[in-house]
Structure 1
């Protein structure tokens, strides 16, 4: 396989047609090698328009979803980012390439260990990785400029909104299958937020994500 041709095709045939036109984001997709973060058994799928299994019911997002989220978040070089669900570490790398620093948390220790190795190999020294159950909250007292939940959640905990600085952006996919909503939430003031629904999608849930209260007869 001609890897660079496959990468070019991914950008031009999948990502650009999905309204990802920010040149900085497109350039980043050529710089950070997606194939290095794909599980070895699925290397041939690195540039295909599909989710790639990671095990434990989790998967890498499609390339166009990763790129679209980067564009919507409009990360600045001074931003402090919190990522919930490290997964393969690829989105972590993309975030770290644009931000001042990234804190990434995953409940699965093998994901944390594998991502640590790959991120170090790529020279990312502005990422702090943790293994913990953070689907409902992450007890970091400092605020974040950007928060990304990489798994869906039927309910979005208010705790995440409280972690955002004024001007901060949170990306979350909310709801239940078969239709979930990708949302960008911006803190516009200490006591106010604005939410925009970007598109419909369906991705795996965060482990231990908060669930609606069951109806009891």
Structure 2
């Protein structure tokens, strides 16, 4: 009889994730680092991929794989969370629940999160995982945010923060209108091979300030239109 394989050491993998992936990406916020060490990412990953949940990869959430249905790499979620600088009084809107892990992180740092997911099965799985993690201030709603926009997103508006958990060709102007003055929207914007992490702050009734502090690539959020391309 062959000897049993040792159990996968999630705690060592979590330490490696933080020290070898997250910190080198300039994520130094103590609250974010502490939360990443506490909230078990592997509990939100599909069972066949639990051992990869802490690796520097995107994890498919559907079989067969569906474009845009994935857990983003840990360093992207961590850097976005740091850039948002959530406060415990904030109300947050997320577009693209996916596994529910990003919603869980934001739930731990804010007052309330509304997260929209286009896929009914993923929405239900995320609800169950959030409940199992003891997070009760996140509502997961099955909705097509790209098609319904304000009808799906506006019930709790205005928001202190809006997060698009996937890439878009351009920042949707009607989502910016759902921000409070002082609120911020995070999205990954552009076309492959280079996209820009984009943080938009609402500075007044009709004024915004935009920063693009780092480059990355992420799968498209399902349903959001591509920007028109120039043709000769």
CA positional deviation for 1:216: 7.4
> In the alignment, does 2:45 pair up with 1:14?
no
> In the alignment, does 2:165 pair up with 1:154?
no
1:119 corresponding residue in structure 2:
130
1:101 corresponding residue in structure 2:
112
Instruction: Write the mapping of 1:1-217 to structure 2, written as runs, cut at 5 A.
Output: 1-55=8-62, 56-57=66-67, 58-135=69-146, 137-139=149-151, 140-141=154-155, 142-213=157-228
CA positional deviation for 1:210: 2.3
Report the structure number with the largest CA radius of gyration: 2
Structure 2: distance between partners of 1:185 and 1:214 = 24
2:16 partner SS: helix
CA positional deviation for 1:215: 5.8
- Asked if structure 2 preserves the Cα contact closer than 8 Å seen for 1:181 and 1:201, the reply is yes
Structure 1: distance between partners of 2:226 and 2:42 = 34
- Asked if structure 2 preserves the Cα contact closer than 8 Å seen for 1:156 and 1:210, the reply is no
2:3 corresponding residue in structure 1:
none
1:120 partner SS: helix
1:75 partner SS: coil
User: Is 130-139 or 157-166 further displaced after alignment?
Assistant: 130-139
Alignment RMSD? 1.4
CA positional deviation for 1:213: 3.5
CA positional deviation for 1:180: 1.1
User: Is 160-169 or 127-136 further displaced after alignment?
Assistant: 127-136
1:76 partner SS: coil
Structure 1: distance between partners of 2:140 and 2:54 = 26
CA positional deviation for 1:214: 5.8
List runs of 5+ in structure 1 lacking aligned partners: none
List runs of 5+ in structure 2 lacking aligned partners: 1-7
Q: Assess, with a 3 A threshold, how the Cα gap between structure 1 residues 8 and 212 changes in structure 2: closer, same or farther.
A: same
CA positional deviation for 1:212: 2.2
Which TM-score applies when normalising by structure 1?
Answer: 0.96
